[in-house]
Chains A and B, each alone.
Chain A
Amino acid sequence: MTTQVASLPPSAASPDRLVRLVASGAVIVTILYLILYGLYALWEPSALTAYTFGSLVNNTAPLAIAAAGETLVILARGFDLSVAGVISLTNVVMASYPVDGPGGALLSLMLCMAVGGIVGAVNGYLVAVLRLQTIAATLGTMIICQGLSLVILDAPGGVVSDFVADTLTDTLFGFVPVSGLIVAAVVGAWLMLRRTDLGVALYTIGTDEAAAALSGVRVARTRFLAFVAAGMVYGIAGFMLTAQTVTGNPNSGSPFLMLTFAAVALGGTSLSGGRGGLVGSIMGAALLMLLQKVLFSGGVSSFYTGIFQGAVLVLAIVFSRALTHLLERSRA
């Protein structure tokens, strides 16, 4: 999943690639998730019901999608702090301008993605064209988005359309959570993107920007598009968050800032770009949310949740590094 993602499918299934796949973050975090879910099921037999799973997916979806968007930027060797701003902004936009019915929901989704896309385009312009440092530039746009959120809705409140609130947190056929389908749609779009020139270029500028440029990759354009796509995905995350909280809050995005990066790192994407993938980030987000749930059901005071989240974050990275190291040594 690491280097292989950007390259050709392992038709030859060489052992090298197998090693890389196993040692990749996505696989490790998925295994951790399954283990933790098993423990959770032992503890809390209701964990295996469709209802519990559905609500877990609902809780996870906004963070998972936000992390998915962030991954696009990080792969291209950047950081995007505006994720928090876009989520707040789309959240208050939806709560201030509710449109009912399925058509309304679609309109709201489009609006959210447009808002995110515009913020992403500003980021992309600042970073790719004006060449500002990504952390600094997106810090600025994040603060501006937070401010605009306050302008639109200066205190928690607002109204969310019933259709959005009900349908998006529902399950289909009694066991398929709708929010899960949205996450799956994001993954589907990603799998397509990976097999385009743009997708390959994304990994390439993250790996070696100078070499990419000398290979004819349009670096500025690729990075710009990464920011725009990421912004649109944050818009979806804001949309899903609103469906879940059924209210508007100008600060609703702030908790996402750190958790998004934690999910990406947990999912094995290198924060220095070029390696990793979107699926790992989504699983990373799922693991963080599951951990919260397990700790809660285990009776650990919610005060201390952060201690476990922080520890898991560090341990997952140390573990994946150690594993990569061991596998590489056994090969040599």
Chain B
Amino acid sequence: MQSSNLSGLSIEGIAKSYGATVALERVSIHLAAGQVHALLGENGAGKSTLVKILSGVVRPDTGQMLLDGQTYMPGTILDARARGVATAFQELSLPSNLTVAECLLMPTLRKGRGGLVSARRTVAAAAEILARYDLRSVAPSALISDLSLAERQRVEIVRAFHHADRVLVLDEPTAALSDVTWLFDQIRRATARGIAILYISHRLAEVRSLCPVATVLRNGRSVATVDLRQADDDEIFELMVGHSKASESVRRSRVTVGAPVLEVRGLTTPKLADVSFTIGAGEILGVSALDGQGQRSLFYALAGLEKRLAGEVLVEGRPSRPGKPGDALRDGIGLLPEERKTEGILANLSSASNIVLPILDRIGRRGFVWPALERAAALESARAVELSPRYVSFRIGDLSGGNQQKALLARTMASGARTLLLFDPTRGVDVGTKEAIYAAIQAFADRGGSVLMYSSELPEIVRLADRCLVLYGGRVFTELAGPELEERTMVAALTGYTSAPLARGAAR
């Protein structure tokens, strides 16, 4: 036992606080050489902090790490690399001004005459690296900014493989990949060479196919290390959230759908052709599509964030032609945007300020919005989404992703809009938060609101929606309702008539 502990990376009792915020309380994991070890946990459980510590971005406050029996405490990324530890980061860390070759070799490029950087040699060296990891499709001289998201993710992964001689950390490596075979091949080759891999993913199926063991992180502690061959999904969820998952998939039953609230006729944008539908009061209309089938364009055109080429939109019978989101709100349409970090939260401000933003003029008294009024209004809105009252006065940037999303949903609902456009409302959100968000959406519909909801997760649509539009190539491919609204039918519809294997967008 002792000898096996010497090879690989032992993390022992690591803790880290940022000011008063405790990110990691006590984490211990042993990564065995040549093994893929999964790290599971809800958003905000401390995974990203652990990744940063392993990569040398931050130093832990207490605890120690042993790499092959030697103390390992990197102060920088380069220290970590020097010890053979490298990370493929979730928030892709490739500077967009560089070429692929420069990215792979940074911070020391190949030199030519006079000690100056040689483009030719840098490209040649990078081509060799790319070939070593079967990524010949990416040109080493291409600019990062010209690559697709999937290509960037692959380059990020190749770079990590290139620098990882002992330990490799993969943080959500498949988020932008539609095909995982390449990655899994590389992982197998790396483990065969005796490299320890820490694999972080939300996708349990993926984790099961790769990893024999998993460590579950909860509230900054490593709660358990599990043999994945013997644990079922429910047991793992229970470890992650700390209680058993709430009653599975209660299909909402809707009897009455009221008068039409949102009518869309022939809506056309550069990415959307002739889309028509109607949502009644109390109805939830799902939208399902693979990535990039025009769903974003549909939501953004309705919310005034994108120009329309043709078509008509009526809200409770009145035409709605918003030029900006503020206009849409006045028409009664509220949007929960796709990108939480860049289009959603105001990271510096309190949750309260974030929540009351669209209703500032309404909550004011004689034009004055005193802090107490703001807080009272925010608390009331927070209740609807089960956002803990104590978070209302915190800086929203300090909250976990799930709580941020709750606050944003509270904002959209409090705006007074009778029609909500929810774009992937549970994106990157943990299991417990999802339940709260589902409940809030259902409650909103039960009160007579109407909802247009896109989700990248099919079970979510099946559970919440009354009907579902399937978009394909910018058009409504089909509409599913009643008994048709179940996952297998949807999977078939999502891919249109093509025989291509189901891409990842659907399974996310």
The answer to whether A and B belong to the same complex is: yes
On A, residues with C-beta under 8 Å from B are 3, 6-9, 11-12, 16, 192, 195-197, 199-201, 203-204, 207-208, 210-218, 274-275
- Whether, in the assembled complex, B359 has its beta carbon less than 8 Å from a beta carbon of chain A, the answer is no
Residues facing A in B61-106 (CB within 8 A) are: 76-78, 81, 87, 89, 91-99, 101-103, 106
Chain B's closest residue to A218 (CB) is: B107
For residue A194, give the distance in angstroms from its CB to the closest CB of chain B. Answer: 8
The stretch of B139-147, B243-251, B457-465 in contact with A is B139-147
Chain A's closest residue to B89 (CB) is: A214
Chain B's closest residue to A201 (CB) is: B107
* Bound-state Cα–Cα, A3 to B145, Å: 10
- Whether, in the assembled complex, B209 has its beta carbon less than 8 Å from a beta carbon of chain A, the answer is no
**A3 CB contact (under 8 Å) in B94, B97, B119, B120:** B97
Q: A8-B122, A214-B77 are in contact. Are A196 and B116 (CB under 8 A)?
A: yes
12 A-B residue pairs with Cβ-Cβ distance under 8 Å, sorted by A, are A3-B97, A3-B143, A3-B145, A6-B97, A8-B102, A8-B123, A196-B115, A204-B95, A204-B106, A208-B95, A215-B77, A274-B97
**B119 CB contact (under 8 Å) in A9, A213, A215, A218:** A9
Chain B's closest residue to A20 (CB) is: B143
- Whether, in the assembled complex, B108 has its beta carbon less than 8 Å from a beta carbon of chain A, the answer is yes
Q: Check B93–A211 contact: CB distance below 8 A.
A: yes
Q: Check B94–A215 contact: CB distance below 8 A.
A: yes
For residue B305, give the distance in angstroms from its CB to the closest CB of chain A. Answer: 19
* Bound-state Cα–Cα, A208 to B95, Å: 6
* Bound-state Cα–Cα, A213 to B91, Å: 13
Q: Residues of B contacting A211 with CB < 8 Å?
A: 92-96
Q: Check A215–B95 contact: CB distance below 8 A.
A: yes
Q: Residues of A contacting B89 with CB < 8 Å?
A: 214
On B, residues with C-beta under 8 Å from A are 55, 57, 76-78, 81, 87, 89, 91-99, 101-103, 106-109, 115-117, 119-120, 122-123, 141, 143, 145-146, 159
Q: A3-B145, A7-B98, A203-B97 are in contact. Are A213 and B77 (CB under 8 A)?
A: yes
Q: Residues of A contacting B87 with CB < 8 Å?
A: 214
* Bound-state Cα–Cα, A217 to B93, Å: 11
For residue B441, give the distance in angstroms from its CB to the closest CB of chain A. Answer: 34
Chain B's closest residue to A273 (CB) is: B97
Q: Check B146–A16 contact: CB distance below 8 A.
A: yes
Chain B's closest residue to A2 (CB) is: B97
Question: Which of A7, A208, A213, A217 has the most C-beta atoms of chain B within 10 angstroms of its own C-beta?
Answer: A7
* Bound-state Cα–Cα, A217 to B78, Å: 9
Chain B's closest residue to A206 (CB) is: B97
Q: Check A200–B57 contact: CB distance below 8 A.
A: no
**B97 CB contact (under 8 Å) in A7, A16, A218:** A7
For residue B105, give the distance in angstroms from its CB to the closest CB of chain A. Answer: 9
Q: Check A200–B102 contact: CB distance below 8 A.
A: yes
* Bound-state Cα–Cα, A9 to B99, Å: 11
For residue A11, give the distance in angstroms from its CB to the closest CB of chain B. Answer: 7
Question: Which of A200, A201, A203 has the most C-beta atoms of chain B within 10 angstroms of its own C-beta?
Answer: A200
For residue A226, give the distance in angstroms from its CB to the closest CB of chain B. Answer: 15
Other contacts beyond A200-B102, A204-B106, A216-B81: 7, CB < 8 A: A7-B98, A7-B102, A11-B119, A197-B109, A200-B106, A211-B95, A213-B77
For residue A31, give the distance in angstroms from its CB to the closest CB of chain B. Answer: 25
* Bound-state Cα–Cα, A8 to B101, Å: 9
Q: Check A215–B97 contact: CB distance below 8 A.
A: no
Q: Check B122–A215 contact: CB distance below 8 A.
A: no
* Bound-state Cα–Cα, A212 to B81, Å: 15
* Bound-state Cα–Cα, A165 to B116, Å: 36
* Bound-state Cα–Cα, A213 to B58, Å: 12
